[in-house]
Amino acid sequence: MKRKQVKFLNFFSMERIMKVKFFCKLFVFIFFVLFLFNQALPSGFSVSGVGSKALSMGGAFRGLADDWSAAYWNPAGLAYLGTSEISASYIVLSPRPTYMPDVSYRDTHTYQKYDIGFKNGIKWYPEDKNIHFPNFSGFVKLKKFGGFTTGLAFYLPYTMKYNWDLYQPPVGYETTSPYPRVDHLIDLDVFDFHPTIAKEVIKEKLSLGLGISVQFANFTLKRTTLLHTDSSIQRIYDNFPIDSKLDEDGWGFGFNLGVLFKPTPKLKVGASYRSQVTLDLSGKTNLSLYLPLNIKLDSLVSPEYRGLFQGGVLSWEVDENVDLKLPAEMGIGISYQPLDKLTLALDVSQTNWSAMDKLEPKFLLPFPTSQPDAVTPQTLQIPLQWEDVVRYSFGAEYLPLKKLAVRGGYYSDPSPVPDKTFGPLFPDVGDKKGINFGLSYRFNSIELGYNYEYLNFKERKINQLEDINGDGLFDNYPGWYKMNMHSSYFTFIYHF
């Protein structure tokens, strides 16, 4: 009995209690910082990976996995991580997406194009050409037990923000309220809290890792939907514009697995699988129908169209939920050290973007009776039909000094978005090539780093509208797209 009491008291020792309190405080602080930083930002961009070192090596990191970001790339690498690591970054992004719309309908008799309100033939850019924002991530390591390394990682795997001004009701379609200036918008933030466990199963040879993804997302999507009236009154009144907005948040869960094998001291092979995560989002859909002002015409049309030409905005709000399916990913990587100061890495991965088939809001209650009959749940679906892609990454690290690391990387990553559903809300314009250069210097427990990334996207030209689900609405945005991006990451890492 005395031995059991001693063990029980040792388990609840003051030192252990203080560590638990510290960990809880740190978790609360991290949670607060993540939400504060991201809610304060007007815009952002989806980054190409997690971790300053991995990014500067072009994402060729599954076969290396030797810092905190192994929790994302390959959790098996955490078995060899000696300390906790917290990373604070200041990121400057300069995305340069350009869109020249060519969104028009064709006359069914003459086959000539006619204007429906999109600002065709002009190059448009989203707001905030230079984006500045902080980021906070890392891995907090707990005490080992039974040879297992355990801890909690936290990072932002997805973030995308664009605001566009692309639509204005056509000339002659007068409204009593101005149409919103920002008429196409996406705002997506996904936070990942990642409890992870890893173990070296064969000394200096083989390790395994498992992580659990607990993800929270904020998601806002806004676009212009054209409600076709079939009125045959005047062409400018064939389509009534609806400003539609989904605003929701919610949770999702997944996991990742990793293995790291060392055939020789200089060669490592790693493989990992990250599961699909279905985010169960709930919120509201807000719809605003902008009615034209033409009192004289309102008195002449047939009874079913009367009242629709007196101007004003018909608005309604409906509770809904939607599943946002983030893709599974699997990959394999190799790292090789031909010289004591030089490490080379290669990574190949497949991302199953085909999970993004469509966004289909499920409305919890029927639409209010004031809404037009033509507005149905089907007309508010967003077909996506994305495709699986394979990414190739190459990277290198050289140590000219013991505490100084110089890194470089390159990757090739196709766009998963097909022409038939492509548009400015998900502007992954085309197959992209990324070039990275980075360096870091470590002062004992503090490490300072910098990474520069240049992304070049293949131009895309889309020539015709597509209606792939037969709801009478177009599902893509024809026109000319071009994009490149410059990014700078200033990083502070604390090892403890």
Which of the two residues, 362 and 374, has the higher pLDDT score?
Answer: 362
Average pLDDT over residues 435-455: 94
Average pLDDT over residues 130-150: 82
- Residue 453's pLDDT band (cuts 50, 70, 90): very high
Decide if pLDDT at 495 tops 80: yes
Please give the Cα distance from 431 to 458 (Å, whole number).
Answer: 5
Tell how strand 313-326 and strand 460-462 pair up.
unpaired
Tell me which CATH homologous superfamily contains domain 41-495: Outer membrane protein transport protein (OMPP1/FadL/TodX) (2.40.160.60)
* One-letter amino acid for residue 222 of the chain: K
Which pLDDT belongs to residue 43? 26
Which two structure tokens, joined as six digits, stand for 292? Answer: 């034209």
21 burial (CB, 10 Å; 0-12 / 13-18 / 19+) is exposed
Average pLDDT over residues 312-324: 89
Residue written as token pair 């092979």: 269
Which two structure tokens, joined as six digits, stand for 110? Answer: 């003459």
Q: What percent of the chain has pLDDT over 70?
A: 85
Give the residue from 54, 20, 35, 28 showing the smallest Cα distance to 343: 54
What is the DSSP annotation of 376-443? -GGGG-EE-----EEEEEEEEEEEEETTEEEEEEEEEE-----GGG--TTS---S-EEEEEEEEEEEE
**Taking the domains of the chain in order of start, what are their residue ranges?**
41-495
Average pLDDT over residues 124-140: 78
CA angle 60, 64, 70 (to 5 degrees): 90
Phi, psi of 37 (to 5 degrees): -60, -45
- Residue 450's pLDDT band (cuts 50, 70, 90): very high
Which pLDDT belongs to residue 386? 93
Decide if pLDDT at 396 tops 90: yes
Q: Spell out the residues 6+ positions from residue 309 whose beta carbon is closer than 8 angstroms to its own.
A: 237, 291, 292, 293, 294, 295, 297, 298, 301
CB 325 within 8 A of CB 280: no
CB 431 within 8 A of CB 414: yes
Please give the Cα distance from 330 to 458 (Å, whole number).
Answer: 25
- Residue 266's pLDDT band (cuts 50, 70, 90): very high
